[in-house]
Amino acid sequence: MTNTADNLQQSTTYQGNNGVFIGDGRNIPIAHSGTGILPTPNRKLHLSNLLHVPTISHNLLSISNLVKDNHISITFDHTGFVFKDLTTNQELLRGPCNAGLYKISSNAATKQSNSAFQASKNPIFRWHDRLGHPHLRTLHKIAQTNPSLHIPKLSSFSCNTCIQCKCHKLPFELAKSRAKSPLELVHTDVWGPAPIISTQGYKFFVIFIDDCSRYTWLFPIIHKSDVFGIFKNFITLIENQTKYKIKALRSDGGKEFINQQMLSLIQSKGIQLQSSCPYTPEQNGVSERKNRHIMETTRSLIHKASVSAEYWPEACTTAAYLINRMPSSNTSNKSPLQLMFNILPDYAHLRTFGCECFPLLPKHSRTKLQPKSSSFVFMGYSDIHKGYKCFNRDTNRTFISRHVIFIEDSFLFYQTTVPPQTLPHDMPPALLLPTSKASDITASCHKNSTPHSNHSNDTPTTIAVSTSLNQPEGTPPNMNQEPPPQPSRHPMVTRLQTGSLKQPHHLNLLATNSPATDSDPTSFSEANKHREWRQAMAEEFVALQKQGTWCLIPPPPNASILGCKWTFRKKFNADGSVARFKARLVAQGNRQEYGIDYGETFSPVAKLPTIRILFTVAITKGWTVQQLDVSNAFLHGQLTDTVYMAQPRGFIGSNHPTHVCWLRKSIYGLKQAPRQWYTTFTNFLLTIGFTHSQADPSLLTYQQGPDHIFLLVYVDDILVTGNNQEIIHKVLSQLHSKFNMKNLGPAHHFLGIKIQTKAR
C-alpha cells in the first residue's frame, strides 16, 4: 500500500467496496489499484496488487508477494535487512532496523538504482550495451557523427559492468612513431590459454593489428601451432581485400612466431620480422593494449548478459567487431574500419550481445501450423553472411538469420547461470556426493490401480518398497584418514524437519569381512599404486577441466586456503562385479569460515512422507517412476563466494606449482555447494513450467490441462513420474541438454530403498 499515487506505474480507479482497517477500528478507503516498481542497484522489483490509500502515514510492503513475484529472498536480523536475487545470489538492497522497524528509504533506493533507472529510460545506456560498453567519450563521438541514432549527451554516468570488468594498471608510455599507411606494420599476439575450453574446443585466439588504422583481425584457435596456417591465409585474405601488402610483422618472439615454417613464409613474402626483447611486453605494447581492450569488452559482454564462459570466442569476436567501429582519439576520431577500408561504420544494426532474439525460421524446418520463430540467444555478427548469429540452447547450434526480432532487456542465460570470470588457466576434479540412507522403513502398497498406459496388457502393477541393507550409492568411503579433520558425512545443510531422512544407527551393525586387497583406497598414496585408480583420477580431472571448476592464481595475501582430498569408491553391477572405479576430489569445507568464504547454506531435501506419497500416487494411477542420476551435480552450481583451495595431489601444475585454485564452481565438500546446485537445478525447472510444491520445495510439479508431471529432487537423485509420457520425454530431453545426467530407467533403488514392480 502507498499513500502517493505517483508510486503507481499503471493504475485504475478502485471499484471495490473494501477498505483498509487500521488499529483504531477505522475503515480507510482505497483510491486506486495497480502496479509499481521498487528500485534496487541492479534491477527493478515489480510490485503487484499495489493499492493507493491516501490517508495512511507510511507505505507498506507485502513480503510474501514481493519475494514470490520477483524470485528474491529477504533476510532480517537485529541490524537490518538484505534483499538477494535467488538466481544469482546477488545482493539487491540493504537497509537498517530502526526502533524495531525495517524501513526502505526511498531516497537511498533511488540513489542506488540511479543507473538502473537511467538505463531503462535513457537510450544512451542501450547504445552503451550494444556497442560493447565503450567509454562515454566514444559514445559522444558516435552521437556527433550519427545524429539519426538520437543518442543523448551526458556529462557522466556510472556502469557497474564497466567498473567490475575494466579495472587495470596504469599505462606505459605510448610509442611516438606510427605507420603512415595500412599494413606498413602489423602487430600480432596470441592470448590464452582460456580458463575454459570453448564449445568448439578453442583455447586461444590470435590477433593481427594494423599499426596505421588500428584495425584488428581476431581468430580463435585450438593450439598455438595453428598460428602458421591462420597467418598464411590472412596474408592471402588481406592482399585480396586491399591494395596493400604487409611490410613488417611485430610479435613478442613466441615460438608460434619464431619457427622454421613461419620464418620461411615471412621471407618468401618479403616481410620484415620484428620481435620484442625477452620479458619485455612493453615493446609489443600495441598488441598488449589491444588484448586488454578486447578482454575488457569481452568480460563486459559476458557479464552483462550472464553468458556461459564457454562461449568466450563468440564474445571475443563480437568485441573485435565492435572495437573496429569505435572512433578514437588515437585514430584521429575516426574508426579503424573507416581508416582501413574507407567505409563509414553503420551502427543501426547493432543489438545487445546475449539478449533474447526470435529469428524467422526457414520453411523447411517447420510445418504450416508451427510457429515461425522460437527463442534464441543473440551471439554476435556473421563475417560470412549479412546476418545475426542466433544460438539455440536446446540444440546447441547457431543459426544465422537476417530477419530477427530482439528483446534487449531479456537475457536467457541470466535465468540459469552466473558467468564465471575469465582468469588464468587449469581446472580441477570433483568429489563423491554422500547421500543419507533412508530410514528403516518397509512400505508396501497393494492397492488396485488403473492399467499402466504403456503396459501391453490390462494387468495392474504393484510397486513393493522395502529397505535394503546394501550400502546405497553415494555413501562416502572411509574418511578417517589423510588429512584430518574429516568432512561431515553429508555436505547438505538443512533445517531440522520432522520426517527428514536420517541415517539409522542400527544399519551400521551390518559388517562384511572383506579382504584388505578388495577394499577401496583411503589415501592418494595407496590409490596411486594401481593403474585403475590413476586412470579414474585422470578421467575425473579432465572432466572437471571441461567444467571450468577453477582458475590457477598466485596465493592472495592473508587468504584462507582450503585443503582437498581424493576419495575413492568402486561401483558394482547387479551381479557383484566391478562396474567402474570412481575417484572424486573433496574440498575441506570444514575449514571454511562463515562470512569469509561462505554465506547461506540451507538447501531443502525431500521429506520421507513426500517420497511415500509420490510412490502411492504412482501405484494408484499406474504410472512408471523413472530415476535420474546427475553426474558431478554440484559442479553445475556457480560459486558466488570467493574460495581458494590447494591444488590436488597428483595434478599440481608444473608451470605454477605454488599457485592455488580459485574455485569458480561449487565443488563437492564446500558448505554452500548443495544450495548452489539446488538453486541452479530448480531455477531451470521453473523456466520450463514447473512450480514448487507448497508442502515440500523438493517436489516440483508441472500441470497443463489434464497432464500432471511430478519431479522429486534429493541432491543428485531425481524421480520423475506422471500421466503423460510424451511430456516426460520432452522434460528429460530439456534436462539432458542442460545437465550431464543419466536416465536410469524405472526406479529400482532410491536412497537405500529397494523398489520392485510386480504384476498382479
Q: Which CATH number is 158's domain given? A: 3.30.420.10
Q: From its phi and psi, is residue 214 left (phi > 0), alpha (psi between -120 and 50) or beta?
A: left
Burial class (CB in 10 A: 0-12, 13-18, 19+), 552: buried
Q: Could you tell me if residue 350 is inside a domain?
A: no
- DSSP 3-state of 756: strand
Average pLDDT score over residue span 594-614: 83
Average pLDDT score over residue span 186-203: 87
Q: What single-letter DSSP state applies at residue 489?
A: S
**pLDDT tier at 710 (50, 70, 90 boundaries)?**
very high
Average pLDDT score over residue span 311-324: 94
**pLDDT over threshold 90, residue 231:** yes
Average pLDDT score over residue span 36-55: 81
Residue 475: per-residue pLDDT: 37
Q: Could you tell me if residue 671 is inside a domain?
A: yes
- The verdict on 336 and 378 lying in the same domain is no
**How high does pLDDT run on average in the chain?**
77
- The verdict on 99 and 136 lying in the same domain is no
Check if the beta carbon of residue 690 is closer than 8 Å to that of residue 701.
yes
Residue 601: per-residue pLDDT: 80
Per residue in 265-275, pLDDT (tens digit) is 999 999 999 88
Q: Are strands 356-359 and 376-381 parallel, antiparallel or unpaired?
A: antiparallel
Q: Could you tell me if residue 279 is inside a domain?
A: yes
Rounded Cα gap, residues 677 and 695, in angstroms: 21
Average pLDDT score over residue span 472-492: 39
DSSP letter for each residue of 208-261: EEETTT--EEEEEESSGGGHHHHHHHHHHHHHHHSS----EEEE---TTTSSHH
**pLDDT over threshold 80, residue 727:** yes
Q: Could you tell me if residue 427 is inside a domain?
A: no
Q: Name which residue leads in pLDDT, 172 or 363.
A: 363
Residue 709: per-residue pLDDT: 92
**pLDDT tier at 100 (50, 70, 90 boundaries)?**
confident
The total number of structural domains that make up the chain: 4
Please state which of the ranges 402-411, 425-434, 592-601, 718-727 shows the lowest mean pLDDT.
Answer: 425-434
In sequence order, the β-bridge partners of residue 75 are 82
- The verdict on 619 and 738 lying in the same domain is yes
Alpha carbon distances (Å) from 693 to 6, 351, 734: 37, 39, 21
Residue 249: per-residue pLDDT: 93
In sequence order, the β-bridge partners of residue 210 are 186
Average pLDDT score over residue span 312-333: 91
Residue 174: per-residue pLDDT: 53
Average pLDDT score over residue span 426-454: 33
- The verdict on 410 and 448 lying in the same domain is no
User: Where a domain ends, among 317, 341, 365?
Assistant: 341
Place of cell 558466488: 640
**pLDDT over threshold 60, residue 170:** no
Rounded Cα gap, residues 513 and 507, in angstroms: 16
Please state which of the ranges 378-387, 397-406, 472-481, 735-744 shows the lowest mean pLDDT.
Answer: 472-481
Q: Could you tell me if residue 146 is inside a domain?
A: yes
DSSP letter for each residue of 609-661: HHHHHHHHHHHHHT---EEEEETTGGGGSBP-S--EEPPPTT---SS-TT-EE
C-alpha angle 657/662/667, rounded to 5°? 110
**pLDDT tier at 604 (50, 70, 90 boundaries)?**
confident
Q: Could you tell me if residue 433 is inside a domain?
A: no
Check if the beta carbon of residue 387 is closer than 8 Å to that of residue 401.
yes
Check if the beta carbon of residue 212 is closer than 8 Å to that of residue 203.
no
- The verdict on 250 and 104 lying in the same domain is no
In sequence order, the β-bridge partners of residue 667 are none
User: Where a domain ends, among 341, 368, 401?
Assistant: 341
Rounded Cα gap, residues 664 and 550, in angstroms: 5
**Quick one: CA dihedral 710, 712, 716, 717, positive or negative?**
negative
- The verdict on 652 and 614 lying in the same domain is yes
Average pLDDT score over residue span 518-528: 84
Q: Name which residue leads in pLDDT, 143 or 491.
A: 143
**pLDDT tier at 204 (50, 70, 90 boundaries)?**
very high
Burial class (CB in 10 A: 0-12, 13-18, 19+), 740: middle
**pLDDT over threshold 60, residue 416:** no
Residue 528: per-residue pLDDT: 82
Instruction: Give kind and range of the element (H or E) at residue 578.
Output: strand 578-587
In sequence order, the β-bridge partners of residue 474 are none
Rounded Cα gap, residues 290 and 230, in angstroms: 19
**pLDDT over threshold 70, residue 515:** no
- The verdict on 625 and 755 lying in the same domain is yes
Residue 460: how many other CB atoms lie within 10 Å: 17
The CB-based long-range contact list for 4-10 (8 Å cut-off, 24+ gap) reads 4/52, 4/59, 5/31, 5/32, 5/52, 5/54, 7/36, 7/50, 7/52, 7/59, 8/32, 8/34, 8/35, 8/36, 8/50, 8/52, 9/34, 9/35, 9/36, 9/37, 10/34, 10/35
- The verdict on 23 and 157 lying in the same domain is no
- The verdict on 155 and 297 lying in the same domain is yes
- The verdict on 75 and 191 lying in the same domain is no
Q: Which of 78-87, 319-328, 572-581 has the highest mean pLDDT?
A: 319-328
- DSSP 3-state of 551: strand
Alpha carbon distances (Å) from 279 to 117, 252, 284, 338: 47, 9, 11, 35
Q: Could you tell me if residue 346 is inside a domain?
A: no
User: Where a domain ends, among 398, 415, 432?
Assistant: 415
Residue 435: per-residue pLDDT: 32
Please state which of the ranges 156-160, 216-220, 291-295 shows the lowest mean pLDDT.
Answer: 156-160
**pLDDT over threshold 70, residue 661:** yes
Largest CA distance in the chain: 96
Residue 164: per-residue pLDDT: 74
Please state which of the ranges 48-57, 351-360, 608-617 shows the lowest mean pLDDT.
Answer: 48-57
Burial class (CB in 10 A: 0-12, 13-18, 19+), 457: exposed
As a whole-number percent, the residues of the chain with pLDDT over 90 amount to 19
- The verdict on 410 and 478 lying in the same domain is no
Please state which of the ranges 112-121, 236-245, 353-362 shows the lowest mean pLDDT.
Answer: 112-121
SS (H, E, C) 700-742: EEEEECCEEEEEEEECCEEEEEECCHHHHHHHHHHHHHHCCEE
Report the interhelical angle of 123-130 vs 114-121 (nearest 10°): 90
Range of the domain at 328: 124-168+177-341
- DSSP 3-state of 559: coil
| End-to-end Cα separation, the chain, in angstroms | 60
Residue 397: how many other CB atoms lie within 10 Å: 10
**pLDDT over threshold 80, residue 196:** yes
- The verdict on 498 and 626 lying in the same domain is yes
**pLDDT tier at 122 (50, 70, 90 boundaries)?**
low
**pLDDT tier at 295 (50, 70, 90 boundaries)?**
very high
As a whole-number percent, the residues of the chain with pLDDT over 70 amount to 80
Q: Name which residue leads in pLDDT, 651 or 439.
A: 651
**pLDDT tier at 702 (50, 70, 90 boundaries)?**
very high
DSSP letter for each residue of 342-400: ------TT---TT-EEEEPPPGGGS-TTS-S---EEEEEE-SSSSSEEEEETTTTEEEE
Q: Could you tell me if residue 314 is inside a domain?
A: yes
